[in-house]
Amino acid sequence: MPYDPTYPADGILIRAVEMRDQFQGLKSAIDVVPAGPAGPAGPVGPAFSNVQIGSVITGMAGTGAAVSVTVNGSIVELSFTIPAGDAGPMGEVSSTDVTNAIANAVTGTARNPNTVSDLVLTPSDPPTQGDLLAVIAKVNELLNALRR
């Protein structure tokens, strides 16, 4: 079903089937918009100035180690689950091992998207191709800002 800019009318109850049709109509309209050329590379994001260890938990022997990352502004908090080892002599973790684990954990996180400005758009009724292109450009700008 094509997109119907008159649905839903003010003050009526909406139905899921018709709303799905509306979304499918919009998606069809977006899908036919050709992709534009790639934009310039975004600015380099800020370096994290504060990395903290949140927790270290001993997991079950034989399971894999895990690291979870929480980012709050410029603070990165790492929480580790390290499996219990087999019975035997105690070993040590080198500073290189810790540095590598931190680098690997941060690599999997998104950058701070604060460099992306708000989308200021008053779409036409019905939306025009230019309106859709503006939304697509802003989504692409956000995705590029989040990539490492």
Q: Determine the structural domain holding residue 136 and report its residue range.
A: 111-148
**Other beta carbons within 10 Å of 76:** 19
pLDDT at 88: 61
pLDDT at 87: 65
Q: Does the structure show a pLDDT above 80 at 148?
A: no
Instruction: Name, in order, each residue with C-beta under 8 angstroms of 129's C-beta and a sequence gap of 6 or more.
Output: 33
Percent of the chain scoring above 90 in pLDDT: 6
What is the overall mean pLDDT for the chain?
Answer: 84
Among 101, 96, 102, which residue's Cα sits nearest to residue 48? 102
- Binned at pLDDT 50, 70 and 90, residue 112 comes out as confident
Assigned token pair, 80: 């580790």
pLDDT at 47: 67
- The pTM for the full model equals 0.32
Task: Say if residue 103 is in the same domain as residue 117.
Answer: no
Helix, strand, coil shares of the chain, percent, nearest 5, are 35, 20, 50
Q: Does the structure show a pLDDT above 70 at 46?
A: no
- Determine, yes or no, domain membership for 43: no
Instruction: Name, in order, each residue with C-beta under 8 angstroms of 140's C-beta and a sequence gap of 6 or more.
Output: 39
Task: Say if residue 87 is in the same domain as residue 67.
Answer: yes
Q: Cα–Cα distance between 72 and 104 in angstroms, integer?
A: 18
Assigned token pair, 115: 């460099």
Task: Say if residue 94 is in the same domain as residue 118.
Answer: no
Q: Cα–Cα distance between 29 and 37 in angstroms, integer?
A: 19
Domains contained in the chain, number: 3
Task: Say if residue 56 is in the same domain as residue 96.
Answer: yes
Cβ contact 46:20 at 8 Å: no
Task: Say if residue 54 is in the same domain as residue 101.
Answer: yes
Encode pLDDT of 47-93 as tens digits.
Answer: 666 778 888 888 888 888 888 888 887 788 888 888 887 766 666 77
Percent of the chain scoring above 70 in pLDDT: 92
Task: Say if residue 79 is in the same domain as residue 103.
Answer: yes
Q: Does the structure show a pLDDT above 70 at 9?
A: yes
List 68's β-bridge partners, or say none.
Answer: 79
Give the mean pLDDT of 104-131: 85
Beta strand 50-59 pairing with 66-72: unpaired
Catalogue the E-assigned strands of 35-128: 50-59, 66-72, 75-83
